[in-house]
Structure 1
Amino acid sequence: MVGLARVSTDEQDLQLQLDALAQAGCIRVFEEKVSTRNLDRPGLAAALNYLRPGDTLVVWKLDRLGRSVKDLLIIADDLHEAGIGIRILTGRLAGGYAPTGEGKFFFTMMAAFAELERDIIRDRTIAGVQAARARGKRLGRPPAMDDEMVAQARHMLTAPNATVSSVAKLLRVSRATLYRYVPELSPTAHNAITE
Structure 2
Amino acid sequence: MIKLGYARVSTQEQNLALQLDALKKEGCKKVFTDKVSGVKSSKPSFEKLMEYARPGDTIVIWKLDRLGRSTVKLIELMEELKQKGINLKSLSESIDTDTATGNLFFQFMCMLAEHERNVISERTKAGLESARARGRSGGRPKGLSQRYLKISVEVKEMYEKNIYSTVAIREMFQIKSQPTLYKILQYAGADVKGFVKKRD
1:83 to partner: Cα distance: 0.1
Q: How does 1:39-188 map to 2 (within 5 A)?
A: 39-90=41-92, 93-98=93-98, 102-107=104-109
Letter of the aligned partner of 1:33 in structure 2?
Answer: K
Distance 1:42 1:52 in 2: 18
Residues 79 and 110 in structure 2, CA contact (< 8 A), matched pair in contact too: no
* Residue 2 (structure 1) aligned with residue 4 (structure 2): yes
Distance 1:17 1:110 in 2: 28
C-alpha spacing 1:12/1:109, structure 2 compared with 1 (3 Å): farther
Structure 1 residue ranges (4+ consecutive) displaced by more than 3 angstroms after TM superposition: 98-101, 106-111
C-alpha RMSD of matched pairs (Å): 2.9
Counterpart in the other structure of 1:18: 20
Task: Give the alignment's TM-score, normalised by structure 1.
Answer: 0.51
Residues 85 and 96 in structure 1, CA contact (< 8 A), matched pair in contact too: yes
Structure with the bigger percentage of helix: 2
1:107 to partner: Cα distance: 4.4
Report the 3-state secondary structure (helix = DSSP H, G, I; strand = E; otherwise coil) of the residue aligned with 2:40: coil
Residues 39 and 70 in structure 2, CA contact (< 8 A), matched pair in contact too: no
Report the 3-state secondary structure (helix = DSSP H, G, I; strand = E; otherwise coil) of the residue aligned with 2:5: strand
Distance 2:49 2:36 in 1: 15
**Where does structure 1 lack aligned partners over 5 or more consecutive residues?**
112-121, 124-195
**Where does structure 2 lack aligned partners over 5 or more consecutive residues?**
114-160, 163-200
Distance 1:24 1:84 in 2: 17
Q: Which has the higher contact order (CA 8 A, sep 6+)?
A: 2
Distance 1:107 1:77 in 2: 8
Structure with max Cα Rg = 1
Letter of the aligned partner of 2:53 in structure 1?
Answer: L
Residues 8 and 35 in structure 1, CA contact (< 8 A), matched pair in contact too: yes
Task: Give the alignment's TM-score, normalised by structure 2.
Answer: 0.50
Letter of the aligned partner of 2:73 in structure 1?
Answer: D
Q: How many residues align?
A: 112
Distance 2:112 2:19 in 1: 20
